[in-house]
Each structure stands twice: as C-alpha cells, then as structure tokens.
Amino acid sequence: LLVLLILIHYRKCISMNESIPTDGVYMSDSNTNVKDAPAFHENPYCKALNNAKDIQFDHADVEGNAQNGPVVRLSFASLFDALGTCLKDESSVLLLYSLVHGNCDFQEYVLVRTDLDTLLMPILEMLYNASRKTSNQIYMLLIILLILSQDSTFNASVHKLVLPSVPWYQERLMHQTSLGSLMVVVLIRTIKYNLSKLRDVYLHTNCLAILANMGPHAHRLSAYASQRLVSLFDMLSRKYAKLAELKNDKALKVMSDQMEADIISDDTSTELHIYTDFLRIVLEIINAILTYALPRNPEVVYAIL
C-alpha cells in the first residue's frame, strides 16, 4: 500500500527545456506566467486511481467512456468495507483521501451508502484522540470530512443514522445519539484541543467549515451537542473580549519603547481579527440551524436560553 501511495502522489517536474504536451501538464495557477509556473508530467498511477470504476458498473458503459486506454475496475463495496476496518493506519487514511478527493465515482458511492458509520466512526475516534496524532494526520481526517460534508444528502443522512452507543467516548455516556450529533461534539472538541495546544488557524477553519456545511441540515441535534455548540460560542466570545480589552489597555498605555509596543499591538490585532472570523462563523452556524431547521432542533433553543 505504501508503494502504491508513493507512486500515486509522485510528481516529476518538467524542465523548461523539455517539450510540454498539452494534455499532460498540471499548472499551479492559471493566472501565473507560463514561464514561471511549474509543470509536471502526468502521473499514470494517479490517473488510473482517479478514473477507477466500480466492478458492478456496466462494463459496456465503462469501455464506452474510456478515452485514454483501459479503465481500472474495483469492487467499491469491498474497498469501502476494508477501509472501514483499517483506518487507524495512516496509509489507509491517505488512500481514502486520495479516492474521495480524486475519484468522483468513489465519492458518489460513499455518499449513497446508508452505513456511513463504517467510515466515519473510525475517523471520529481518531479525531477524539487528536493528542496522539500529528497535525498532518488531523488535517487529512478533517479534509475527508470537509469533502463529504459539501453534499446535502450526506449531511441529512448522518443526522438520521442513530448509534446505539459510542464506547470510545469517555467524557459521558452517549446512547441513542445520531452520527451527526457525534460529529458536532467531536469537531468542537477538536477545536478546543487546537485552541489549547496546536493553535493552528487553518485547522480551526476546517472544523468550522464542516460544521457550517452541516448546520442547515441539522436534525434533532442532541442536548449534549447543542450545549457544546453554545459553549463554543461562549468560549470564543470570552477570548475575543479578553483580547479586545488587552488591545485597548495597550493603546492607552505609554511605553518607552514605541517600536516594541507597535509589534505587540500588531500581534494582538491579528489574533483579534482571527477570533472575529471564528465568532462570525459560529454565529452563522447557529443562525443556519435556527433559520432552516428550527422545528427539528428544540435542544438548540434550550441550550441558547
């Protein structure tokens, strides 16, 4: 598997003296000058994985749609089940990311499965144990969730799938909770962990983006998930108020070293701006639930009150 992943993600840069085929170039930015933009040879392994079809897909259609050679055919059902059992391995997570990100057919297959917990439960358990993971591993898991959460059917499905129990969640017993509620709880827990330990702005942004995608489709969000969401807003607002007060105090205080004061002030302003964006997104999430899913989420109303 590791060899396969290396082959899939290998990119060979084309020298500017080489001839560049029109159908085999990846440009980093369409607005960049062609002479300055890096170009890469087309990776046949990556292309084969991205174009792979389900073995149950009609063979005639597969051959009819094949434009550049034969198409790899896999059992998406077996692949889905196998990934669900071995996602604790980092290489399996990278393979899942490669498939969900690059193969539209596999992504669609995942989205129509009714047993989404097969993939999501291992992912959520790893995020729950984020302290044992590197920031790159956490990023990979969040990007997978972010890609899936862009689909409205996925967001509706996770809230309808009820879990009898969550044995690895230790803070409290969670019985008969929806997969969507568990996702909200774990994502907010990841945000709070990041605030206290990693302090990675982009990790925050990914977590909040997933929650924002899920917001309009929330269905019977649990009391615990609703409380966690409101407590997240409370925590961020207190941090924002503290930073705003600190900035005002420094603005009024006369320091002997004006240069040092300017540097500290700039740092505070940057952090204040970041928390302003975080608060705005959380408010948008709560507003989306109240606007589009209010009758289905009484616990959110109780938590706000």
More confident residue, 255 or 48: 48
pLDDT given for residue 22 in this prediction: 40
pLDDT band at 44 (very low <50, low <70, confident <90, very high): confident
Name 255's Cβ contacts closer than 8 Å, sequence gap at least 6.
Answer: 261
What would the pLDDT profile of 46-88 be if each residue is shown by its tens digit? 899 999 999 987 655 555 554 556 788 999 999 999 999 999 8
**Which stretch of DSSP H or E encloses residue 178?**
strand 175-178
Domain spans of the chain, in order of start? 126-136+145-305
How do beta strands 175-178 and 162-165 pair?
antiparallel
Give, rounded to a whole angstrom, the gap between the first and last alpha carbons of the chain.
51
What would the pLDDT profile of 120-147 be if each residue is shown by its tens digit? 999 999 999 999 988 889 999 999 999 9
More confident residue, 142 or 29: 142
Percent of the chain at pLDDT exceeding 90: 62
pLDDT band at 263 (very low <50, low <70, confident <90, very high): low
Torsion angle, CA of 265/268/273/277, rounded to 10 degrees?
Answer: 180
pLDDT given for residue 288 in this prediction: 96
- How many distinct helices (H) and strands (E) make up the chain? 14, 4
| Confidence (pTM) | 0.84
Residue 103 DSSP label: -
